[in-house]
Chains A and B, each alone.
Chain A
């Protein structure tokens, strides 16, 4: 494994940015209605319907998919570093579910406030992260058994809260909720995109700027402390940034699972375990991954749609089993 340098990081991130743009353009042109992309650049070539499909429906959805992917992958990479376990993932740890509980509480008790849902989702994610960290943490890092058990306990507890809240809803909303819980990007709107982009950039940048101390935390909190890391401050910042990323993605798109597991794993395998590279590269690769997964989700049985979470789980669950067996 070669040492990571700034130059290498910039090259990898540059390549991944180009990949993301290509994936985005492909996703823009694919759908139940074929719109030749070249027409989008020729004035007057698009019919009003085509323009509406491209810019009001597909583009917001692709942007939301990209921010959700970037958020979940970067959050996954940092949870893994903080808990010293490659199996840590927001969905499996119950953190996404915590954000889901927060979102539902906001929906039922606060109403349709643009900021209410993301804020409550953030609060839910913070609460769930703290519980998981307390339950799973140990001096030698979280063992896979403890981590998974902590995730299961947190998830089942929250599931019962979710069921409880669902019973308070009317029947027509329940179906769209079940869909949303599995990860659903069809609700993308230009107003939600603004919140998503700002939260994603803030979170990913904050995590990236904690990457070097995170490298040391991966080797143990005590070691990091000895080497001059202010463990408490770094841990707090990372938890807050990761919870912001998870919270906002869940509020806007539900719980898309396994992105935080699959993407950082592939990035580490292809490059290095150095978080200064892994975190920004995971964000970019995660964006492409979810845009691709969502394109599959909305086209494979068109005109019907699958929740994007079903596609990511289809890829992620086997990888999780492989990682668990390999240990």
Chain B
């Protein structure tokens, strides 16, 4: 499907990603985990063609990404970003219908079809936003807005979802429901998802595959149980962590080892 072969990304002299390979497989959720500045977002941005890799290749169904028209890629790959930039008032429905642009056959003055509307209302239901369709995006809370961003990505019907910290603005319940929804798309529609996140516990619960990045290089890659270990995570995140099993799911559960905090707490306790 989508494959990155030995890619490196350079910003001027600085190399953000070095020789990383990954395969995006239908039905699989891949998580990219690493500290700030590890090259996670750059890797994601290379995968949809926003950034050109300085070396290496991105292949979609065996052909280089650059050989596809932008509109085709808009139907195949959808991106969920951290924030929506809003310079003008736009309603939730209009925003989500933006996801149908790549499917339009009627050019730059094209209008949405009945089917476009049907799909938009369907994804609004899935993201629990059906009552918000006429509301303005900038009147929504951060969490509602984030769900609208996901709704727009789902409206593209793309089978490859690239998510850049999609849960950053969400409360605990919506973090879970967002990943459950992505997981459902992976399981039922064989969508492939690549998710960049700092939330390792959600990753451990939902992802099939984890890639640990440090300074742009792959440190480890594999199923969560193999990769999310105390040794590897401590190396990648530069903080000592404890890993045990979640009592309900059995997935790895990661807790920072708060030694420093405990020390300070002990000294300053009332």
Contacts and interface: CB of A to CB of B under 8 A. Distances in A.
Interface of A: 1-3, 5-6, 81, 84-86, 139-141, 208-213, 215-216, 218-220, 222-223, 225-231, 234, 268, 273-274, 276
B71 A210 contact: no
A215 B98 CA distance: 8
Contact of A3 (B70, B88, B91): B91
Contacts of B247: none
A2 B134 contact: yes
Interface string B99-139: 10110100111110000000000000000000000101000
A227 B74 contact: yes
B48 A226 contact: yes
B87 A212 contact: no
A216 B101 contact: yes
B101 A225 contact: no
B86 interface: yes
A219 B107 contact: no
7 contacts: A3-B93, A84-B87, A208-B109, A212-B108, A223-B84, A227-B156, A268-B88
A179 B85 CA distance: 42
Nearest to B84: A219
Nearest to A279: B109
Interface residues of B, number: 39
Nearest to A237: B108
A230 B134 CA distance: 28
Interface string B71-103: 111110111010011111111011101110110
Contacts of A6: 111
B249 interface: no
A180 B125 CA distance: 57
Given A211-B109, A212-B110, A276-B109, A222 B102 contact: no
Contact of B102 (A1, A209, A228): A228
B188 interface: no
A6 B107 CA distance: 14
Given A226-B74, A228-B71, A229-B70, A273 B88 contact: yes
A215 to B, nearest CB: 7
B50 interface: yes
Contact of A1 (B77, B81, B136): B136
A219 B85 CA distance: 6
B93 to A, nearest CB: 6
A215 B87 CA distance: 11
A230 B70 contact: yes
Contact of A227 (B69, B87, B98, B136): B98
A273 B88 CA distance: 7
Nearest to B87: A84
Contacts of A213: 101, 108
B108 A228 contact: no
Given A209-B107, A276-B109, A228 B74 contact: yes
Contacts of B71: 228, 230
A48 to B, nearest CB: 46
A100 B239 CA distance: 62
Contacts of B79: 226
A223 B134 contact: no
B81 to A, nearest CB: 7
Contacts of B48: 226
Nearest to B137: A219
A5 B111 CA distance: 7
A273 B73 contact: no
Contacts of B156: 227-228
A273 B98 contact: no
A291 B95 CA distance: 36
B102 A227 contact: yes
Contacts of A218: 87-88, 90
Interface string B39-66: 0000000001010000000000000000
A145 B203 CA distance: 41
